[in-house]
Amino acid sequence: MSDGKLPKLTEIPAFTEYIAQGWDSPARTPDLVPGAAEAAAAHRALLAGALPGRTAVVSAGRAPTRSNDTAYDFRVDSDFSWLTGCAVENAVAVVRDGAATVYLPPPARPGETGFFADAAYGELWVGPSPSLAEWAAALGVEVAPLADYPGPPGDALPAEELGRTLAELRMIKDEWEVAQLRAAVDRTVEGFAAVLAEVPAAVAGGGERWLQGTFDRHARTYGNGPGYASIVGSGAHAPTLHWVRCDGPVREGELLLLDLGVETRSHYTADVTRTFPVSGAFTAVQRQVHDLVERAHRAGMAQVAPGRPFTAFHHAAMEVIARGLDDWGLLPVSVDEALSDAGQHHRRYLICGIGHHLGLDVHDCARSRPEAYHGAEMAPGMVLTVEPGLYFHAHDRTVPPELRGIGVRIEDDLLVTADGAEVLSAALPIDATGLENWTKETSK
């Protein structure tokens, strides 16, 4: 007879004895990206060089709760990943002079109540999980149970100082990181092909969300997922910088802005943008805007080289934009006045910066000191984006009606080399005509 209650399995000896037995040992080797542990060791050595004798405590973090006992997807903290190569939720690492102790929540295996009763760590809930010894062997560090973590030592670096130091160390990518970023960009370029192939389905009714879903599925299949919320803006949505709502239609005759990045399983992301006409051919005014942004983009990219100020590409691209807007009669002041620190009128149509560091985070190294970021010179090993655009909102009365509702951004990912720069995303044509041909080529 039921009294309206469910039996508590943990309190039934017959059940707990029965479920403890009869299990084979499944594969439990940590699934690390090759080279991740070695790269993390090199990163710890960099930190030791920057802050010898100091103790750093970093946490892997935990997924935010969505509701009740369900959570959003877990994504490891970037500093933790950089220093350990590990991506286990709730883990904590204590790092000092190149050595690390990683405190991990132990998996709950057959014979333990948690095996079936713990939704966070029980293998029946989350799948077979490596033991601490297997993690220690894979990561090349000491590993201890999370329950043994004594808390941060008294001499632990303050979070702000540590965050700043790591952000600045992470600016120069090593060979392994560059390989990860190349892979992120390559998978992203393939993702553009997958999305472009679905444009007819988007026009037929799927809309922006069909294309967003197409890219996200691609990113999840060939990487960890999208490195940031995928932006798909068609028509009057294109001028909205971060149009991630993606709830609009895709119509013939409109421009379609795609800002997409695959994050690899090692957590490095690409960040690439193209804007192209849905029908395959620009109208005259769309071409005019795209041409100006393309000129700004090429002027910006030409500035990327070691020894140049980090802001050089920003200023070069902004100057092209300001002059172009002036040619179109869209500046209320002279170009010089607009370009001066006291003006900046052109920024009404380009409110964001022209680019940023790229790496484990899409806006990488953001906690650096200003003098180490915008105030620094470019150096070999830096990876950054150049992404000028023009954004004429449909409700902006300062632009002529034919320009309203047009948004164009072009974004590439560049590696600063010893003598210049390599455009990692060069396989994706900038120009929409080329993009159309490229799609045909790649889908053959």
Q: Which of residues 376-415 bind ligand GLY (CB under 6 A)?
A: none
Of 115 and 373, nearer to ligand GLY (C-beta) is 373
Structure tokens at 283: 């109208």
- d(C-alpha 155, C-alpha 305), whole Å: 40
CA-only gyration radius of the chain, Å: 25
Q: Which residue in this structure is represented by tokens 């030592």?
A: 153
Of 301 and 362, nearer to ligand GLY (C-beta) is 362
Dihedral, CA of residue 169, residue 172, residue 177 and residue 182, to nearest 10: 150
| Residue 165 near which of ligand GLY, Mn ion, none (CB within 5-8 Å, type-dependent) | none
CB 140 within 8 Å of CB 130: no
Q: Which stretch binds Mn ion (CB under 5 A): 123-131, 169-177, 216-224, 379-387?
A: 379-387
Q: Which of 228, 298, 308, 309 binds ligand GLY (CB under 6 A)?
A: 228
Establish if 259 lies at the interface with ligand GLY (CB under 6 A): yes
Q: Which of 286, 385, 425, 439 binds Mn ion (CB under 5 A)?
A: 385
Name the minimum Å distance from CB 198 to ligand GLY. 20
Name the minimum Å distance from CB 256 to Mn ion. 17
> What HEC string does 70-138 produce?
EECCCCCCHHHHHHHCCCCCCCEEEEECCEEEEEECCCECCCCCHHHHCCCCEHHHHCCCCCHHHHHHH
Q: Which of 271, 326, 412, 413 binds ligand GLY (CB under 6 A)?
A: 271
Name the minimum Å distance from CB 335 to ligand GLY. 27
Structure tokens at 38: 């070695």
**How many alpha carbons fall within 13 Å on the CB side of residue 14?**
1
Name the minimum Å distance from CB 134 to ligand GLY. 37
| Distance from the first to the final alpha carbon of the chain | 66
Q: Which of residues 328-387 bind ligand GLY (CB under 6 A)?
A: 362
Q: Which residue in this structure is represented by tokens 């002036």?
A: 326
| Residue 266 near which of Mn ion, ligand GLY, none (CB within 5-8 Å, type-dependent) | none
CB 196 within 8 Å of CB 439: yes
Binding residues with Mn ion: total (CB under 5 A): 3
Q: Which stretch binds Mn ion (CB under 5 A): 91-99, 132-140, 194-202, 265-273?
A: 265-273
Of 43 and 237, nearer to ligand GLY (C-beta) is 237
Residue nearest to Mn ion (CB): 271
- d(C-alpha 438, C-alpha 424), whole Å: 17
Name the minimum Å distance from CB 195 to ligand GLY. 15
Of 273 and 439, nearer to Mn ion (C-beta) is 273
- d(C-alpha 427, C-alpha 192), whole Å: 11
Residues that bind ligand GLY (CB under 6 A): 228, 259, 271, 362
Contact footprint for Mn ion (CB under 5 A): 271, 385, 387
